[in-house]
Homo-oligomer: A and B are copies of this chain.
Amino acid sequence: MSQRTTSKSEQTRERILTAALKVFCEHGFEAASMREIASASGMAVGAAYYYFDSKDALAMAFYQKAQEEMGPALDLVLATSGTLEQRLKGIIRVKFEHFAPNRTLLAALSAHSDPHHPLSPFSPETAVIRDRDIAYFTRAVADSQLRLPGSIHPYLPRLLWLYQMGLIWFWVFDDSLGQERTQNLFDKTLSILLLMIRLAALPLMRPLDRRVADLLHSVFGEPGR
């Protein structure tokens, strides 16, 4: 049966990924070798490459799995909080808490700044993951009544995603105890962000609005979803 086969194949894939995460946790991403991962999973090196395109792809698979696992917690945040502030705080807290045990693993993904690289957060290959992520920000913005210029509004989810990516980047490399510096950065930037959104409604900001909308259009392309 094709069903069973897929399932067994899936199991093997799972087994390799689990072994990889274990090895990553033990020696860190760099120090972990594909040979060790393979033998930890009881398979040959080639098998790991049959299921994953590269070593980095293992880190990406971890991210993808994490995204699925966080789904319910994120839904809960959106269901139980109303203001944008609460929602953003909630969403980002969920992510930090979920990734905390493997925080440094994310550094492997931060390495790919080139949007041409399949594992870059900006690549076409990661578009599905990215869009799923952005969708949460879309929902976070949706029914929170924001008085934001309409021209900027459609870009807000993507901007917030970008903001989150920046925070995560800072967090990944934050050596302070309990990553308190990131917490500090988060508190302060969020408060500025919300204040700016409030100020953006003032007529004085009109010239700024126009320019920002123009900029966003040329960076992100069409405003439509």
Interface residues of A (CB under 8 A from B): 107, 110-116, 169, 173, 181, 184-185, 188-189, 191-192, 195-196, 199, 202, 204-205, 207-208, 211-212, 214-215, 218-219
Known: A110-B113, A113-B113, A114-B111. A215 touches B188 (CB 8 A): yes
> A195 near B207 (CB under 8 angstroms)?
yes
Selected contact of A218 from candidates B184, B208, B214, B215, CB within 8 Å: B184
> B214 near A188 (CB under 8 angstroms)?
yes
Known: A111-B114, A113-B110. A192 touches B212 (CB 8 A): yes
Q: How far is the CA of A202 from the CA of B169 in the complex (A)?
A: 33
Question: Please, could you name 12 A-B residue pairs with CB atoms under 8 Å apart, sorted by A?
Answer: A107-B114, A110-B113, A111-B111, A114-B173, A188-B211, A188-B214, A188-B215, A191-B211, A192-B211, A196-B208, A199-B205, A199-B208
CB distance from A99 to the nearest CB of B (A): 16
CB distance from A117 to the nearest CB of B (A): 9
> A192 near B215 (CB under 8 angstroms)?
yes
CB distance from A142 to the nearest CB of B (A): 26
> B116 near A188 (CB under 8 angstroms)?
no
> B199 near A215 (CB under 8 angstroms)?
no
> B110 near A185 (CB under 8 angstroms)?
no
> Which of A107, A113, A181, A191 neighbours the largest number of chain B CB atoms within 10 Å of its CB?
A113
> A218 near B181 (CB under 8 angstroms)?
yes
> A218 near B188 (CB under 8 angstroms)?
yes
- A112 contact set on B, CB distance < 8 A: 111
Q: How far is the CA of A208 from the CA of B189 in the complex (A)?
A: 11
CB-nearest residue of chain B relative to A219? B185
Pairs of residues from A and B, 6 with the lowest C-beta to C-beta distance, nearest first: A188-B215, A110-B113, A192-B211, A184-B218, A115-B173, A195-B208
- A204 contact set on B, CB distance < 8 A: 199, 202, 204
